[in-house]
Amino acid sequence: MSEVLLWVVGILVAAVGVAVSIALHEVGHLVPAKRFGVKVTQYMVGFGPTLFSRRRGETEYGVKAIPLGGYIRMIGMFPPQPGDAPGRSRASSTGRWALMAEEARAASFVEIGPGEEQRTFYRLPVAKRITIMFGGPFVNLLLALVLTAVAASAIGAPGLVPTVSSVSQCVLPAGTTASECGPDDPPAPGARAGLQPGDTVLSFAGRPVSGWEQLSDLIRASGGREAQVVVERDGRRVELTATPVLTQRAVLDERTGEPTGAVEEVGFLGVSPSIAVVRTPLAEVPGVVAGQVADVANIVLRLPQRLVDVAQAAFGSEARDPNGPIGVVGIGRIAGELNARPAIIPGDELAERTSRLVSLLAGLNVALFVFNMIPLLPFDGGHIAGALWELLKKALFRLRGRPDPGPVDVAKAMPVAYGVSLVLIGMSALLLYADIVRPVTLG
């Protein structure tokens, strides 16, 4: 298959994957809403003009032109103000912010028919409202777990394993460009201990070895100390003794992998790992996804500075951060590049490319989960935060012996929702431009 066709396939897989993830996110809202008796008038994937739709029962299902999200429309999202009839605004409401709240409140009641007042969203108990609003992000989190399990556990991915591929014969000085041993170079501890290519390290210094990263850390921490090494060689266990030497090595940046300019003194054994398909144990998948959630949350918390970095890269000469935010165009480009990149392990091209794309979709669902849990309107987290505040407020009123204060008026936060929406539009425009003129490329 040609490289161009592989690019196109990767982009199509990403586009379909994003659309399906958004559609299932809205199903996560739709199912509990209908289960709890709330009237849902629309289920839409996308925004803007409707491309096509079909009505089933009381709900219109459709697809819109701009595939950047989706929504379900429930009647009575916001409660009326005390003393007001549902759907009627106070004539005394003045000011831009108050009018925004009144307009949102009126729009949430416009579709309420006779006898449907009990089917409004705001009349539900707090727990049911939280269940509906958390349903969408929960589906994305569940998809992230399933997709990660498929990519990392079922298929696997190329990784370094503690099977020796080569053994250095000497210890070369740090920073040297020489590739062959000189007469004054000391012998490498691994060769002196009798390690051979093909040996699989089972334990080091009394510690069982499960992966190359763990073995590397043990070697680096054992400089100058004798260590027992147990390897599997030709189907039998062989016990060896090695003493890693202390040597200076460049310190690498954890984020970019590039040298920082500093050096550190670490243990050196002189063996290289092999590359093989590595499958993550299924029990470790939740931890992997939890780490991804933490990474995306860190990006969100530092989003203003990240966007400044994107702008400096797009309009200046700064390098684009490969771990920074990207837009839909950037996602498509990365998907195409991942699918077109040659396989690391020959003979496993289809499995390796599948694992890459499934992992990408898992990461996108993690991002959808984190962003939708932001405790601000119009995100799902904003409605959840409002419901939790209502729960706390009612508990405080009960403790003080005061009457139930009623639903929290989330409509008062609509100015914040409009402000956040404007920020999202600006961010999307910036990322679109940056993804075109200064795209993120994989190293």
Q: Is 226 helix (H, G, I), strand (E, B) or coil?
A: coil
Angle between helices 285-301 and 126-148 (to 10 degrees): 110
| 215 touches 195 (CB < 8 A) | no
Cα separation, 361 vs 147, in Å, equals: 7
Residues 6+ apart with CB under 8 A from 204: 215, 218, 219, 222, 227, 228, 229, 230
Give backbone dihedrals phi and psi of 432, rounded to 5 degrees, phi first: -60, -45
User: Cα(43)–Cα(187) distance, rounded to whole angstroms?
Assistant: 70
Q: Which of 3, 26, 111, 239 is catalytic?
A: 26
Nearest alpha-carbon partner for 163 in 69, 234, 92, 226: 234
Q: Which two tokens stand for residue 38?
A: 């709330």
DSSP codes joined into one string, 86-104: TT---TT--SHHHHHHHHH
Length of the chain: 443
With tokens 């499995």, the residue in question is 351
Q: Which residue has the tokens 């771990």?
A: 323
| For residue 49, cis peptide bond before it (omega within 30 degrees of 0) | no
User: Residue 26 catalytic?
Assistant: yes
| 86 within 8 A of 123, measured Cβ to Cβ | no
Instruction: Please list the active-site residues.
Output: 26
